[in-house]
Structures are given as C-alpha cells and as structure tokens.
C-alpha cells in the first residue's frame, strides 16, 4: 500500500528529508549552519565594502553589519523555522529554481520566517526569506516558485546593494551636503526644511523601488520559465496579495461565543466603525507616492501579458502533491500560532487557535490549547501582567477585523468573568482537553 | 551626528527587498524633543486619550512651532498637529466633547488664556481668547482660586466646552464657552451684588440650552466664614444669566455637587449642612433638590447621615464611632438611577513628631489628620441609603498642618488636606453609559501577608449594585520611578522610567475588578 503511493514526487521529498535536511538534528528552530552563515555574512560584507568608493565604505559597512547582526539575532531568537515538514518542502522548490537556472547554491541561504505576515523578502547577501503567512493563499508549488524567482531576481539585479550605495553616494554628494549646510545656516523652520528634504528623498526612493519591483518581476518570470513549473495559475498570486489580510478569519468572535454558549452582558464584539482621530489623513497621491510596490492589478496584467507571449507549460506540483501542500498550510497555521505564543503574545495566540479550531474542528489539539491559553490569561490577569501578554495597542484594519474584536472582548472582561468563560469552555470541551501549562 | 543617525535609520529600511507591499510610515519622531506637557484628554470623567505637547522648531523671532500629538485610551496613535504659537506658550488643560478637541493655552507675555477647538481633522474650528488683568504667577488670590477649583476643562453633555477664569480685582469669575460644532463662543462675567471674599465656581452640567454652575461665595469680612451657595444657570447660546437661585432652603444649606437634567427639570444632588459654615463644619447629610427650567424649586429631600448610615456603619452619639468624620469626595449618578457617594473616614490627631518640631519651629504645628477607610454609599432618588460599604485601607495621616491652622475645625482641615492633595482618594472614572463607576485611592499596605508595605493604587468599582476592590503596587519593581495616570474604568496607566536603559515605558495595566 505504501509502495503504491510512493510516486516520484514523494520519493524526491523523501530523499530531500534524508539528505538535504540535516538541520532537524538541531531542532526545528535552530539553524545548523549558523556559524558558517555568520562567517559568510561577514566575508560578504568585507568583499562588498572593498569594492566601494572609500568615502562611503564606513557608512556602508555600518548599515550592513547592523542588518547582519539583526539577522543573526533573529536566528538566535528562533524566529525562523528549520523543521522536517515545511522547511524541506519549500527548500526543495527553492533549490529547483536555482538548479533550473544554473545558479550556485552556495550563494544563497533560504529561510522560513515564522510570522503570519503575507510576504517574502530578500537581502543583499543572497538570503531569501519566505514568511509562513505567505503559504495560506498559495494554490500550488508553481506560485511559490514564482515568488522565489522574484526574490532571486532582486538579488541577481543587486537591488538592495545598489539602493544603499546610491543613497550613500547621494548623501555624500556635494549637492546634498550643500543643501544640508544651507538649512543649518537658517535660523527658523530648520527641522521643517530638513523633513521636506528627506520626504523628497523618500518619494524618490519609493519611485525607484517601484521600478526595481517591476524589474524583479521581469527577471523572475525569465527565471521561472527555466523551471519545470507551469505558469497558468502564477498571475493569480496578485489576487491573493491584493486581498490577503494575514490572519485567518474562519469564524467571528461572536459566532465563537455563541458556539460555546458564552454570554457577556452589556458588550458587543463589533469593532466601532467611527474611530476618534486627530489630524488630516494622508492624501491618496502621497500614499501612492510612498508605495514601494506597483499595484497588484498592474503586476498581474504584466505577468499575464508576458506568459501570453511566452507560454510556459509545466507541472504545478513536483516536490509534493496538492494534499501535501494543504498539510503544510495547516501545519503553517499551527506554527504561526506557536510563534505568537513563543513571542509572548497570548492574545494573538488565542485568536489564531480559535480560527484554527474553526477551520479544523476534527483536530482536538486546538481545544486543549485554547483552554490552556484562557487559563494562562487568567493567571496573568490576576497578577496584573495581562498587558504583557495581550497587545492592546492594535489598530483595527477594518470594521470586521475579528482580532480587534477579540482584543476588545478581552479588554472588557474582569477577572471573575474571564474565569467564568474559561470554566464554561472547559465544561463544553472537557472530553478533548489535556491540561498543560502555557 | 543625529542627522547621520537619521540617515542610517532610513537606509537600514532599504536593505530589504520584499515581495508584498508593507504599510510604512514616512516619518517617525526621531527628533530630539523636550516633552513640555503630557496630559489626559477626558470627556467628563471618561478617559478618551492622552496628549503630548512639545516644542518642535523655531518659527520666527517670537514664535515656535509646537507639535500636539494625541493617542487614544489604548495608546493607539490618533495623529499629530503642528501649531505655531508664542515662545512662552503653556498648554493648561484639554478635553473632548465627542466631536471636537479643546485645548486651553496660556500666553504669559500677552496674559491671555485661549480656548482653541480643533475638529478631528486637526483643523482649528473656533477659538475664544480671554485677556486677564493680573499676572497669575504673582497673584495670591488667583493661586487660592486655582487650588480651590477644578483646573480641568468642563465638557457640555452634547457639544461644547466651559471654562472658568478668575477675575481680578472683583474676586469673581468669567465663564468662557466654545462650541466647535456651532462655532459659537461667548464670555460672561459673573459678578453678583455685594463684595465677596471668596467666589468659587463648580461646573455642574450643561446641554444645548443651559450651562449650570454651582457658586460658593463668602461675603467680605475678616472673620466671616459664612458661605452662600447658589445654582447659576447661563444660556448656552449667549451666556446670558437665566437664573441664579440659592440652595438655602429653610435651615438647610446645600452645597451642590452634581446636577442631572431629568424630564425637563434639574435635579441637584449635594451635601446638606444645618449651618452656614459649610467650609468649616461637617455635612449633616445628603440633599436632593429638583428645580424647574426657570429655577423654581419643585421638590426637596433631605436625609441626615445619622438616619441613613446607622444601618450600615457603626454610630455612637449621633456620630461615626470613635469620633470619625466622613469627607465626601464625589457623588455620581449610576445607570440604575441611584446616586453613588465616595467618602474617606478621617479624624483629627496629634502628631508626636509635630509636637517636638513645634518647639523649635513656628512653621509646623502638632495637628494632622488620621486617614482611614474609604466609604462608598449608594442612595436612591428619595435619599434612602441602599448600601454603604467600608473599603479597608491602611491607616495613614496627612502632612502636619501649619501651626496657624491648628484652631480650624476637622472638616475644614480635611478640605485643606484635599486641596493640598494629602488625602488618599485620587479620582473618579466612569464608562460611557455610567454602567461602571470607579473610585481610585492610594493605600500604603501589604498586598499579601508576606509582602512588604508598599504604596499601592486601589480601585473601587461599582457595577450594577456590586462593589469590588482591586489593588496594585504603584511602582514597577524594576523601574527607577513609576507614575500612575488615570485610564478607562478597567485600567490604570503606569509610566515607568528605567534609568540604566534610558527607557520610558507606558503600560496599560488591566485591573481585576
């Protein structure tokens, strides 16, 4: 039976697990090659610095070293995932892109960021990062491969490095320094003038950045064309990016309360539509000018146009199957939630668990976690440390933002009511609950 | 150097290339600024947010550019407004009426108080400047007035702001009104016949039609301590006086504390005294007065503490047992249509240290007040006491009173102690619908049996007839210093400074009750 199901893709995945994923020995959040990665970053920084004009070398190095340190700190803080499920799967897709384009694997490092944010990003040293949150909207491996191609495109076109060097050259130019000198000479409104100067610079860079995104898309499509993946569904990525909210929204907080028969007097979980504010909202043209990415609709049209002219047939799955991806997506949801817990954000953790429970009611693990989190919140409430584990400073994304609704609910509860809710939840679900300490 | 740091921050952002569009703020406050004012924005007793007001830039020879930044009650950023104003500008108080923000500024050079009303787009919609004819920093009468009156802006129920300014040399006051929605402003000087020694206004309530002010007045005369109390009604549209009615009814002398608009009438809740010396003697009970819209008394009801409190608190010889007095801090109408009173038990005591000290110094006498439990009482609309609860707190004492106050009555000393901020009651906070009402106080006690005595913040919460208490230490153990600021009914804002880390944190601590 097992042999019948072991198709080529699964075999590839198995080989990958065995040969290419020794990181598992070190635990799922520890990077096996941490020391060599650190040396690589340092060496890379030295090499890149030496190629620059002497007058900007020091500043360049300071910026890159700060970034390197932050990356190493985040690795130490277990912000990245090196597990035996998602990591080998995504690395396999990533490596396929590299192999298909004859790119040297030693120049790249691939990480998975444990956050729920829908994004992927790259650094000037060849480190490419995919957030767990990106997986939720991905329909197949082809789409993931395209995202990786885009990020590799940034690296190959040296966008980060060029941007930094260009900015440093600008800030050290006679023209810019003369402008600063002129402002310093003034007696009045100097800060305003300095802000205006920098704002102009930010606009310039945003415009430049949008150009870089287009270029990374273009090169990404060429890189993608060399893979075995098909491009049919690839432009749909932008529909997902356009609508993605990051956090899952499978059940409203009111429905959760109704389901658990929890009644709260004098309280509505609805997020108020009219928020108090002060000051004019930024004009649309300014917001647009500050965008670092072109509109998703435009990017989708460009991609459709490219693959219309250069059709790219191929498979949508190679490393695994549709079912494998769905399993990994489910796993990613749990992992994102665990990351919230590891970061001490129990309010967010509870929200993610409620959503996971609604999405996978057959999975009883979520119920135990919800109960244990409620108990933990009660303990924090009693000790007056609730503010340390629930992020009250959160701006609702819209009127239907259910995370905001949960925060509003938690904020309104007194200790007694929180205890009552915890007990009600236990009574309703005690058959599935295993008590542990959060 | 700072500029270079700023550049590095900007550049560090561009070291990453991301796939999706991230929300990004163009500028954050990276300037080296000196915070000149930090305060609370309230709508009556409801905390709506906090403001910071700081110097940002030099505008010209005479003016500075200031930044006024607002955050809501959860510390979410609401926005920042740049305002150009004189060099010596001071932000005195603030308020929010549900639609607009009002800030009261003082310009020392021009000796002008100004109410500036901004809409939620940060646009100034109306202003009401008032030039005064004295220098506040060197006017002793003004100082006394400031100590005896609430410095906060008063919010009218529907729309608008009311402020009272001391008026010299007439020892009266000026009412200033500003309404951002109707753009209506006015000023009205209150100056009744006869000379006064003291004239103190207290905002009672207001709506679209009328502004109600309680006026306490002591007529001129060196030894005169007889007080007169009236309820002044001013037109909300013009400021014209509608009526000024005395609250002396037969032998009852009522000090109004609160007023409510009900069925076209005005319900005044206050403390009742059987003598005219309302500043120096303890109140005898509660008073509930109903006036019609023309100021005609429709109904009055007086209940002595003796006849109501006896069922709930130990009494002896018509007084609280062991010679205690109750100092009434606040009276609030609940959602259940009852009146909630918060008081503090105290008695006059002799300070042993003070006796020794008084032998060598003429500045301190042996008198102080011993402060004890908080007391919360709930009355129905007819003045019947529904419940009274003592909330235990550690015995404490006020500072030692100057020797010249030693002859004063205990209740007057309590009034003085309250003005000096020596009493343990701190403030009252309500929820929007009056469903939750909290009274906060300071307590110097052990929170647990094995714990050390610390300065604690206590909160008494009233919710639909149920009274609960919670306490937390004022100081964060790790912080160099901590300060607590009022917040919404479930919270208190703890501001901590960590000297070693040069870090200032603001934690919205959730209370258990």
Query: CB of B20 within 8 Å of any CB in chain A?
Result: yes
Facing residue for B21 by CB, picked from A266, A292, A393: A292
Could you identify the residue written with the tokens 């399993």?
Answer: A327
Give the count of beta carbons closer than 10 Å to the beta carbon of residue A319. Answer: 23
Alpha-carbon distance of A7 to B94, in angstroms, equals 71
Query: CB of B12 within 8 Å of any CB in chain A?
Result: yes
pLDDT at B152: 82
Global pTM reads: 0.83
Question: B496: part of which helix (H) or strand (E)?
Answer: strand B491-498
In degrees and rounded to multiples of 5, residue B137 shows phi and psi of -70, -15
Torsion of CA A224, A227, A229, A230, to 10 degrees: 60
Residues near A24 by beta carbon (within 8 Å), at least 6 away in sequence? A82, A83, A84
CB contact under 8 A, A123 and B490: no
Q: How far is A158 from chain B (nearest CA, A)?
A: 10
Facing residue for B74 by CB, picked from A189, A293, A393: A393
pLDDT at A396: 82
Alpha-carbon distance of B182 to B174, in angstroms, equals 21
pLDDT tens digit sequence for A286-322:
666 666 777 899 999 999 999 999 999 999 999 999 9
Q: Which two tokens stand for residue A282?
A: 């930024």
Residues near A397 by beta carbon (within 8 Å), at least 6 away in sequence? A245, A404
User: Angle, nearest 10°, between helix axes A365-382 and A346-359?
Assistant: 160
Query: CB of B3 within 8 Å of any CB in chain A?
Result: yes
Is the peptide bond between B130 and the residue preceding it cis, with omega within 30 degrees of 0? no
Question: B320: part of which helix (H) or strand (E)?
Answer: strand B319-320
Pairs of CB atoms within 8 A across A/B: 169
Query: CB of B315 within 8 Å of any CB in chain A?
Result: no
Q: How far is A170 from chain B (nearest CA, A)?
A: 11
CB contact under 8 A, A202 and B31: no
CB contact under 8 A, A293 and B10: no
Alpha-carbon distance of B266 to B256, in angstroms, equals 12
Closest CA to B25 of B71, B77, B82, B84: B77
Query: CB of A382 within 8 Å of any CB in chain B?
Result: yes
C-beta separation of B489 from B438 below 8 A = yes
**B33, closest residue in chain A (CA to CA):** A191
Closest CA to A147 of B316, B251, B20: B20
CA angle B426, B430, B433 (to 5 degrees): 170
Q: How far is B478 from chain A (nearest CA, A)?
A: 14
CB contact under 8 A, A276 and B96: yes
Alpha-carbon distance of B292 to B287, in angstroms, equals 17
Give CA separation, B200 vs B104, B146, B149, B197, B327, in Å: 19, 10, 7, 10, 19
Interface of A with B in 315-374 (CB under 8 A): none
Q: Which two tokens stand for residue B9?
A: 């921050």
CA angle A122, A128, A129 (to 5 degrees): 95
Per CB-CB distance under 8 Å, the chain A contacts of B461 are 414
pLDDT at B65: 92
* Stretches in chain A below the pLDDT threshold 50: 1-26
Give the count of beta carbons closer than 10 Å to the beta carbon of residue A18. Answer: 10
Helix (H, G, I), strand (E, B) or coil at B446: strand
Closest CA to A356 of A370, A345, A342: A370
Facing residue for A382 by CB, picked from B14, B58, B512: B512
CB contact under 8 A, A387 and B513: no
Residues near B350 by beta carbon (within 8 Å), at least 6 away in sequence? B366, B367, B368
Q: How far is B16 from chain A (nearest CA, A)?
A: 5
Interface of B with A in 429-488 (CB under 8 A): 433, 435, 461, 468, 472
Facing residue for A123 by CB, picked from B6, B7, B15: B15
CB contact under 8 A, A278 and B120: yes
Q: Which two tokens stand for residue B59?
A: 């505008």
Q: How far is B403 from chain A (nearest CA, A)?
A: 43
CB contact under 8 A, A150 and B18: no
Q: What is the mean pLDDT of each run of 10 residues along chain B (513 residues)?
A: 33 42 28 53 82 87 90 84 89 88 92 93 93 84 76 84 85 91 95 79 92 88 77 96 95 90 91 82 87 95 84 76 86 91 87 46 65 93 90 89 68 81 90 89 82 86 94 87 83 84 83 91
CB contact under 8 A, A189 and B65: yes
Task: Tell me the ipTM for this assembly.
Answer: 0.77
Alpha-carbon distance of A388 to B476, in angstroms, equals 13
pLDDT tens digit sequence for A8-20:
444 444 444 434 4
Could you identify the residue written with the tokens 């250069």?
Answer: A310
CB contact under 8 A, B17 and A199: no
Alpha-carbon distance of A179 to A175, in angstroms, equals 6
C-beta separation of B443 from B456 below 8 A = yes
Alpha-carbon distance of B68 to B39, in angstroms, equals 11
Interface of A with B in 57-86 (CB under 8 A): 59, 62-64, 66-67
**A163, closest residue in chain B (CA to CA):** B14
**Which one of B13, B18, B59 makes the best mutation probe of the A interface by having the most chain A beta carbons within 10 Å?**
B18
pLDDT at B352: 56
CA angle B490, B494, B499 (to 5 degrees): 165
Q: What does chain B come to in residues?
A: 513
Closest CA to A347 of A398, A422, A405: A405
Helix (H, G, I), strand (E, B) or coil at A239: helix
Q: How far is B432 from chain A (nearest CA, A)?
A: 12
The three-state DSSP-derived secondary structure of B337-399 is CCEEEEEEEEEEEECHHHHHHHHHCCCCCCEEEEEEEEEEEEECCCCCEEEEEEECCCCEECC
pLDDT at A191: 85
């Amino acid at each position: 039976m097992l042999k019948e199901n072991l198709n080529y893709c699964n075999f590839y995945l198995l080989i990958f697990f065995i040969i290419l994923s020794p990181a598992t020995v070190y635990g799922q959040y520890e990077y096996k090659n941490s020391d060599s990665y650190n040396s690589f970053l340092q060496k890379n920084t030295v090499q890149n610095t030496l190629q620059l004009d002497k007058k900007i070398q020091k500043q360049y190095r300071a910026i890159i070293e700060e970034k390197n340190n932050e990356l190493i700190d985040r690795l130490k803080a277990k912000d990245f995932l090196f597990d035996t499920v998602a990591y080998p799967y995504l690395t396999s897709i990533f490596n396929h892109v590299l192999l298909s384009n004859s790119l040297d694997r030693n120049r790249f490092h691939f990480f998975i960021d444990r956050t729920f944010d829908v994004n992927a990003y790259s650094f000037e040293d060849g480190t490419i990062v995919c957030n767990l949150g990106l997986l939720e909207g991905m329909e197949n491996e082809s789409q993931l491969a395209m995202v990786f191609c885009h990020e590799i495109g940034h690296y190959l076109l040296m966008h980060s490095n060029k941007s930094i060097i260009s900015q440093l050259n600008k800030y050290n130019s006679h023209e810019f320094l003369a402008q600063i000198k002129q402002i310093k000479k003034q007696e009045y409104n100097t800060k305003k003038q300095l802000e205006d100067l920098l704002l102009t610079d930010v606009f310039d860079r945003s415009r430049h950045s949008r150009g870089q995104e287009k270029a990374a898309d273009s090169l990404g499509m060429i890189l993608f064309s060399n893979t075995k993946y098909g491009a049919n569904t690839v432009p749909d990525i932008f529909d997902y990016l356009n609508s993605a909210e990051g956090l899952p929204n499978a059940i409203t907080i009111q429905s959760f309360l109704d389901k658990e028969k929890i009644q709260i007097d004098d309280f509505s979980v609805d997020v108020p539509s009219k928020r108090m504010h002060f000051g004019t909202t930024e004009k649309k043209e300014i917001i647009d000018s500050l965008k670092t990415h072109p509109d998703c609709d435009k990017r989708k049209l460009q991609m459709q146009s490219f693959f219309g002219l250069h059709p790219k047939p191929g498979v949508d799955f190679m490393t695994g199957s549709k079912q494998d991806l769905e399993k990994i997506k489910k796993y990613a949801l749990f992992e994102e939630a665990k990351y919230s817990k590891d970061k001490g954000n129990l309010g967010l953790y509870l929200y993610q668990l409620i959503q996971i429970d609604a999405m996978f009611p057959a999975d009883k693990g979520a119920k135990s976690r919800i109960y244990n989190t409620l108990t933990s919140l009660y303990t924090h409430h009693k000790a007056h440390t609730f503010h340390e584990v629930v992020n009250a400073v959160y701006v609702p994304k819209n009127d239907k933002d259910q995370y905001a609704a949960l925060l509003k609910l938690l904020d309104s509860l007194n200790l007694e009511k929180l205890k009552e809710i915890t007990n009600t939840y236990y009574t309703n679900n005690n058959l599935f609950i295993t008590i542990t300490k959060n | 150097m700072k500029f270079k740091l700023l550049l590095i921050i900007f550049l560090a952002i561009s070291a990453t290339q991301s796939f999706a569009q991230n929300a990004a703020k163009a500028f954050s406050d990276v300037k080296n600024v000196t915070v000149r004012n930090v305060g609370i924005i309230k709508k009556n007793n409801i905390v709506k947010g906090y403001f910071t007001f700081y110097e940002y830039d030099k505008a010209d020879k005479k003016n500075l550019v200031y930044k006024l930044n607002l955050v809501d009650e959860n510390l979410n950023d609401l926005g920042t407004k740049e305002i150009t104003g004189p060099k010596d500008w001071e932000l005195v108080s603030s308020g929010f009426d549900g639609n607009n923000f009002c800030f009261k500024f003082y310009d020392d050079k021009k000796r002008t108080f100004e109410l500036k009303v901004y809409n939620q787009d940060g646009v100034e919609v109306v202003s009401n400047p008032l030039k005064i004819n004295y220098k506040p920093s060197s006017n002793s009468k003004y100082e006394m007035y400031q100590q005896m009156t609430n410095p906060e802006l008063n919010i009218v129920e529907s729309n608008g702001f009311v402020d009272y300014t001391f008026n010299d040399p007439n020892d009266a006051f000026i009412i200033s009104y500003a309404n951002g929605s109707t753009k209506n402003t006015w000023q009205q000087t209150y100056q009744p016949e006869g000379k006064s020694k003291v004239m103190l206004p207290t905002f009672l309530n207001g709506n679209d039609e009328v502004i109600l002010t309680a006026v306490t007045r002591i007529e001129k005369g060196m030894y005169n301590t007889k007080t007169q109390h009236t309820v002044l009604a001013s037109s909300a549209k013009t400021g014209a006086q509608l009526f000024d009615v005395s609250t002396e009814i037969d032998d009852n002398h009522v000090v109004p504390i609160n007023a409510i608009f009900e069925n076209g009438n005005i319900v005044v809740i206050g403390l009742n005294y059987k003598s005219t010396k309302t500043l120096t003697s303890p109140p005898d009970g509660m008073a509930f007065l109903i006036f019609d819209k023309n100021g005609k008394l429709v109904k009055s009801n007086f209940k002595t503490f003796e006849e109501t409190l006896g069922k709930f608190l130990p009494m002896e010889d018509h007084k609280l047992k062991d010679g205690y007095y109750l100092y009434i801090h606040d009276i609030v109408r609940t959602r259940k249509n009852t009146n909630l009173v918060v008081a503090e038990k105290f008695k006059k005591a002799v300070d042993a240290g003070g006796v020794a000290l008084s032998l060598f110094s003429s500045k301190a006498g042996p008198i102080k007040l011993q402060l004890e439990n908080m007391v919360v009482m709930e009355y129905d609309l007819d003045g019947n006491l529904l419940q009274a609860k003592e909330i235990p707190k550690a015995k404490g004492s006020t500072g030692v009173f100057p020797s010249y106050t030693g002859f004063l009555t205990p209740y007057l000393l309590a009034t003085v102690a309250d003005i000096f901020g020596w009493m343990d009651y701190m403030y009252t906070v309500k929820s929007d619908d009056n469903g939750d009402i909290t009274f906060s106080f300071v307590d110097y006690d052990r929170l647990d049996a094995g714990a050390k005595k610390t300065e604690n913040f206590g909160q008494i919460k009233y919710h639909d007839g149920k009274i609960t208490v919670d306490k937390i230490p004022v100081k964060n153990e790790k912080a160099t210093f901590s300060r607590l600021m009022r917040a919404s009914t479930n919270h208190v804002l703890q501001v901590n400074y960590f000297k070693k880390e040069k870090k200032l944190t603001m934690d919205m601590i959730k209370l258990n009750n």
